[in-house]
């Protein structure tokens, strides 16, 4: 039987609320998860809805079910960080500079290669998608578009233009994580907007069919972001050490 839209929305809302609670540390790793009866009472939902929500959280690596042990909270090491929901919950509810750094390191591993491939494989339509994203970034400078969304659109457009099906499927992951990482690195730079010149240089290399230049220019942007994040991490560590020294 096909589920109603309301049923699916309720299941997702409960999955979201429970997922946020888990990543925020409201449940200890290895602890028993509330029973279906307890969750039904808490959310006022049927057992079938709660059962589906638990299955979704299990698929995302946040929960595990074992015979005679019931459902338990999995350790963070087992969470599926490539799941956009899990990564989004972590970045929004359990902010971590280390997590942002690791994600940016991951971007550095594939986005320059995506730009490289885009110079060779991008269709005219895909190139136009990158141009439109850059145009949106320029419009955002004048308050006519959203700075974050236009920046995300640029990076996603390059993934799509790479001609690599695996890169294309990273769109949701990139969207979730860039919402935090771009906002953070722009804040560290003391600016609200991303560099139009740097992004435009990547587009220029793609349009010129220059793979090495596209790769180098994308790498440069990500290296700058990593440098800013590392500086912020070091600053946090120094402040923590100072507080600990003062406490002693």
In this predicted structure, the answer to whether residue 148 has a pLDDT above a threshold of 80 is yes
Residues 56 and 119 in one domain: no
pLDDT bracket for residue 234 (50, 70, 90):
confident
pLDDT confidence of residue 236:
61
d(CA 206, CA 118): 6
Clarify whether residues 100 and 37 are in a common domain: no
What CATH code is carried by the domain that includes residue 215?
Answer: 1.20.120.530
Indicate which CATH number applies to the domain containing 13.
1.10.10.10
- At 245, the pLDDT band (50, 70, 90 cuts) reads very low
Does residue 196 share a domain with residue 138? yes
Quick one: 58 and 110 in the same domain?
no
Would 84 be classed as within a structural domain? no
The pLDDT tens digits of the residues spanning 76-110 come to 999 998 898 998 888 777 667 888 888 889 999 99
Q: Are residues 128 and 219 in the same domain?
A: yes
Tell me: do 67 and 109 sit in the same domain. Answer: no
| Total number of domains in the chain | 2
Residue 89 resides in a domain: no
Residue 86 lies in a domain: no
Bridge partners of 64, per DSSP, are 72
Give yes or no: residues 214 and 188 share one domain. Answer: yes
Question: Do 124 and 48 sit in the same domain of this protein?
Answer: no
Is the same domain home to 156 and 224?
A: yes
Tell me the residue range of the domain where 101 lies. Answer: 95-247
Output the 3-class SS for the chain.
CCCCHHHHHHHHHHHHHHHHHHHCCCCCCCCECCCHHHHHHHHCCCHHHHHHHHHHHHHCCCEEEECCCEEEECCHHHCCCCCHHHHHHHHHHCCCHHHHHHHHHHHHHHHHHHHHHHHHHCCHHHHHHHHHHHHHHHHHHCCCCCHHHHHHHHHHHHHHHCCCHHHHCCHHHHHHHHHHHHHHHHHHHCCCCCCHHHHHHHHHHHHHCCHHHHHHHHHHHHHHHHHHHHHHHHHHHHHHHHHHHHHC
């Amino acid at each position: 039987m096909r589920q109603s839209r309301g049923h699916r929305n309720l299941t997702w809302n409960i999955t979201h609320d429970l997922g946020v609670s888990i990543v925020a540390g409201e449940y200890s790793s290895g602890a028993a998860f509330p029973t279906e009866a307890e969750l039904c009472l808490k959310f006022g939902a049927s057992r079938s809805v709660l059962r589906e929500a638990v299955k979704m959280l299990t698929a995302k690596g946040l929960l595990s079910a074992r015979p005679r042990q019931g459902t338990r909270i999995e350790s963070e090491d087992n969470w599926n960080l490539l799941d956009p929901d899990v990564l989004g919950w972590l970045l929004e509810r359990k902010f971590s500079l280390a997590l942002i750094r690791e994600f940016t390191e991951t971007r550095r591993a594939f986005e320059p290669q995506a730009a490289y491939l885009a110079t060779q494989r991008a269709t005219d339509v895909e190139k136009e998608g990158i141009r439109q994203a850059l145009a949106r970034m320029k419009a955002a400078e004048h308050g006519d578009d959203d700075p974050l969304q236009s920046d995300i659109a640029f990076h996603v457009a390059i993934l799509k233009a790479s001609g690599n099906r695996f890169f294309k499927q990273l769109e949701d992951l990139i969207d979730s994580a860039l919402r935090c990482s771009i906002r953070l690195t722009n804040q560290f730079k003391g600016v609200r907007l991303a560099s139009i010149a740097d992004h435009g240089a990547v587009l220029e290399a793609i349009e010129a069919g220059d793979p090495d230049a596209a790769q180098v220019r994308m790498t440069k942007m990500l290296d700058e972001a990593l440098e800013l994040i590392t500086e912020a991490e070091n600053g946090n560590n120094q402040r923590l050490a100072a507080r600990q020294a003062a406490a002693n």
